[in-house]
Chains A and B, each alone.
Chain A
Amino acid sequence: MIDPITLDFVREKIQDIGTAEQVRSNRIRITTTPGRIRDVIRSVQELLSCDRLLTISAADNGKTLELIYHLTGSHRMVVSIALELPRDAPQVPTTSDILPPAGIYERQIHDLFGILFQGRSDLKKIILNEDWPENEYPLRKDWAPDPGTFYGGIKGERV
């Protein structure tokens, strides 16, 4: 186990591609933009020796959609990288090539929030059923089931 990384160390390493703050003794949060996410992930991997993606969290805050990438490494600090996306056309470059575990999370987020990960051709449904209608993203705040829409399962009368 190596020494925990400090906030100053993180700030020095990521420089101007994101702003870092310490939110808890073992959590550091970096805020960045969609265009810079790949650079930040690479810096965090190489300069902050984070070798492990915990998860990608997604949230809808009403105005924008947010993605938060949580990474950790042998120093046991969790580095969270947050970015915001516009609700009308949420797009962000994929990180699944530089961060293989991201693949499954990106497909899940695409299903539930409709965020498009640019550069991926295999964003087919993984969490929702295959007959789920297109353009319905159930974890967005403004989503409600529409009585006229078929959401999959068995059609017609059930005994």
Chain B
Amino acid sequence: MPEVIVPIGPHHPALKEPVNFKVIADGEKIIRLDLDLSYNHRGIEKAAEQRDFIRVLPLIERVCGICSHSHTTVFAKGIEELMQLEIPLRAQYIRTIIAELERIHSHLLWLGVAAHEIGFNTLFMWTWSDREAVQDTLEEMSGNRVHYGMNEVGGVRRDLTPEQVNAALVRLPVLEERVKKYVDMVNNQKTLLVRFKGIGKLSKEEALKYGAVGPTARASGVDYDVRRDDPYLVYADVPWNVVTDTNGDVYGRTRVRIGELMESIGIVRYCLENLPEGPIRVNAPKTAPKGEILSRYEAPRGELVHFIRTNGTDKVERVDIRTPTLANWTSVAMCLVNQNLADIPVIVAAIDPCLSCTSRITVINSDNKKEGLINFDVLRKRFRTRYQSPERP
């Protein structure tokens, strides 16, 4: 049978985000994959060079809608190291709590998406309802569900009250019970086993060779986790374990994420129970001395790297963001080879791709004066007139 090119995307079957693959298939078997990532690039790295350290954090936070805390933490900790700032312990604990809550909600979200990809929508509904408890906790602590806005250079912006700590501690045991149920389901539920086992296999050698990161790599037995290997925040003081698996398929990636859910719940509980007293921030200088740093962070999807260069002013000279999804594409392209076309959604979803992270450049077209942004008031006026006038404008 001749080879056929099957275009997939830019609207990916698994996600509500754009990515474009050209899958070269022979019958139902995948031969090769061509990637075109950025359908919608936003220019965050360029824009970050124009903003001072106070104004740049909200921008960095918006690199991603799920790992928003990851991006600000990795950036702030890089800048703080360049400024040689010592961050109060309480602030570090609060950052860790938010970071691990973020991991929990992200992994629960992923489990739901993966279940949805194989048509198991009951599990999707269950995990997402549990995720709401985590979102509620995050909202109580930070005031927000998505962009928490907790970080600033020098510490965190909001303190935790005893009521917030207690509310979170009450929810954790319930969540733990639910996650145990998912552990049991993933290991025994037939629908999951049939669709996950042996799918999208990646050996340890391949995972290393193609630079897979995070749960994708750890599911193939690659024992890398930045939280242990290059400790930051309070991970060196908290009891927890790196979760690895030897299956190397979608099943293994699920087991790693489920295992990490349990570990993260443990970390959050430890941090909440041992939250030290003290200030939550120090005053940071306006400018950072000239220097460069490679700041590493274990985001829910894998290792996140910010390469930051400062030039003695209050702005960065360059921030180079390498997101885990970008690192994982090479391995996805490899593990799709020889797989069935119908397994594309779940294999791609198994790395938990985050495309908004990966796309960061925008296109500004100013050749046409009529083209441009509509501001909120104009937009509102349009809708108002639509509802007020008898005819639609």
A→B interface (CB under 8 Å)? 24, 26-27, 51-55, 57-61, 68, 70, 72, 76, 78, 80, 100-101, 103-105, 108, 112, 125-130, 132, 138-139, 145, 147-153, 156-158
Contacts and interface: CB of A to CB of B under 8 A. Distances in A.
Interface string B338-375: 00000000000000000000010101111110110000
A100 B212 CA distance: 11
B309 interface: yes
Nearest to A75: B229
B322 A55 contact: yes
A156 B43 CA distance: 22
A157 B307 contact: no
Contacts of A104: 35, 326, 329-330
Contacts, number: 103
B366 A147 contact: yes
Interface of B: 35-39, 41, 43, 45-46, 208-211, 224, 229-230, 293-294, 296, 303, 305, 307, 309, 317-318, 320, 322, 326-327, 329-330, 359, 361, 363-368, 370-371
Nearest to A25: B230
Contacts of B363: 129, 132, 151-153
Given A76-B229, A129-B38, A151-B365, A51 B208 contact: yes
A157 B296 CA distance: 44
How would you classify the secondary structure of chain A's contact residues: helix, strand, loop or mixed? loop
Given A27-B294, A126-B38, A149 B361 contact: no
A149 B367 CA distance: 7
B327 A55 contact: yes
A52 B208 CA distance: 6
B263 to A, nearest CB: 19
Contacts of A138: 43, 46, 361
Contacts of A112: 361
A87 to B, nearest CB: 15
7 contacts: A59-B320, A60-B318, A78-B230, A78-B296, A100-B210, A112-B361, A139-B45
A140 B296 CA distance: 24
Contact of B211 (A52, A108, A129, A139): A52
A158 B366 CA distance: 12
A70 B46 CA distance: 22
Nearest to B323: A55
Q: Which of B209, B211, B230 has the most CB of A within 10 A?
A: B211
A132 B364 CA distance: 11
Contacts of B43: 138
A151 B38 contact: no
